Structure 1
Amino acid sequence: MTRKKVARKATLLYIPHDSTRRNRFKKRLKGLMKKADELAVLCDAKTCVLVYEEGKAAPEVFPSQAEAVGIMNRFKSMPEMVQWKEVMNQKGFISKHIDKLREQVDKTQREYEDGKIRYLLHKTMHGDLSGLVGLNIEELTKVGYKVDVLLKSISERMSKIHSRTLPPAPCVATGSIDMGSPALYPAPPQQENRLDMVSSGGDLDTLVYGGYAGANFSSSDMMMQMQSFDMGFGSSPFPPM
């Protein structure tokens, strides 16, 4: 039979029946030592448990008496401020829990008042002024403060929007490439002489294999000269008569 989980709102009371109290003590003690062992393994921490049972002088010790004595001596050798840093009694625990609950209540109250003022301002902007009737000085001051906060927030947002600069216009390619001035690209050497030779009725083969070979031109240079020749005279290699 598994042990029931204790509810948070359940009230812990002293068990008056002796046998029931002793059985409950054994079960809880076993679970407490198991948790201490898990804490030591998972977190690599030094843990020990000393529990004084009712009516017994010697305590129940975990993990062993020698190890527990070593851990306690190490703890006592620490400064007093470090020893009492995380120590808390029942009164301190309850007080800390009450403070947390009060903080939650205050936060909820502030959120409720903020929503109420926003709803009132929304109605006022639509011409319904009935919500402002009957407010005292303190409530009107809160409404005015909220209006100032909202206006400041809107002004800051508008300033950020206006301060943003437009991105530069993208560069569009026109498709035409400027190759520079024609003077930067001089004509190949002896081109005019060869054109005159062809114009005067010279043989094209003699021009290619004689004049080009004598000038030690490569095949790529020869192709460039032929292209320039075609561009100058059209499809026919000879000028029109």
Structure 2
Amino acid sequence: MTRKQIDLAYIKNDVARKTTFKKRKSGLMKKVSELSILCGTDACAVIYGQHQANPDVSPCPDGALRTITRFKQMSKMERSRNILNQESFLRQTIFKADEKLKKQMSDNQEKEMMIQAIYGSLPADWLQKLSHVDLNDLWLSVEKNIEAIAEMMTSLEKP
């Protein structure tokens, strides 16, 4: 059974807010500890509570200090190597979607040409009307299909 989706909004009730903070904090600390143990990585979390004098540190203050010191000793280039801001994340996502769209359009065009060629719904002079690019696409498509047919025939002959 799935959990009910909660609204991410400020909790106005003080008692409920403190309880939620306490539960979420312990869950987060547990996740950091599990990540560190299961993946063998250095991970730490430092959480400053609204009504706490000292921050909560996971897994332990010494381990967190070592991890933070190691991070600070890295060069700026190493630190920011895998960091994505919103703009670069969106650029990357758009680029991937664009590539996927181009591939899908190419596949669709290839299938459309093959369907038209197979079912003969084209006029007699349809080949002469195709552009150079379309002719190349058709040729590649026909070659792929011939190779697939040849592979199927060889697999049928082997029994």
TM-score normalised by L of structure 1? 0.47
Query: Is the CA contact (8 Å cut-off) linking 1:120 and 1:131 kept in structure 2?
Result: no
**Aligned counterpart, 2:156:** none
Q: Report 1:49-128 matches (<5 A).
A: 49-54=45-50, 58-124=54-120, 128=121
Corresponding letter in the other structure for 2:9? Y
Task: Give the Cα separation in 1 of the matches to 2:39 and 2:139.
Answer: 51
Change (3 A) 1:33 1:101: farther
Change (3 A) 1:66 1:18: farther
Q: In the TM superposition, what is the alpha-carbon distance from 1:39 to its structure 2 partner?
A: 1.4
Query: Is the CA contact (8 Å cut-off) linking 1:50 and 1:62 kept in structure 2?
Result: yes
Q: What's the secondary structure of 1:86's corresponding residue? A: coil
Query: Is the CA contact (8 Å cut-off) linking 2:45 and 2:64 kept in structure 1?
Result: yes
Is 1:144 the counterpart of 2:135? The answer is: yes
Give % identity.
26
Change (3 A) 1:142 1:55: farther
TM-score normalised by L of structure 2? 0.66
Which deviates more from structure 2 when the two are superposed, residues 62-71 or residues 48-57?
Answer: 48-57
Task: Give the Cα separation in 1 of the matches to 2:146 and 2:104.
Answer: 28
Q: What's the secondary structure of 1:146's corresponding residue? A: helix
Task: Give the Cα separation in 2 of the matches to 1:21 and 1:118.
Answer: 62
Task: Give the Cα separation in 2 of the matches to 1:132 and 1:52.
Answer: 76
Larger radius of gyration: 1
Q: In the TM superposition, what is the alpha-carbon distance from 1:72 to its structure 2 partner?
A: 0.6
Q: Deviations over 1:163-189 (max 9, x none)?
A: xxxxxxxxxxxxxxxxxxxxxxxxxxx
Q: Report 1:199-214 matches (<5 A).
A: none
Q: Report 1:164-179 matches (<5 A).
A: none
Q: What's the secondary structure of 2:67's corresponding residue? A: helix
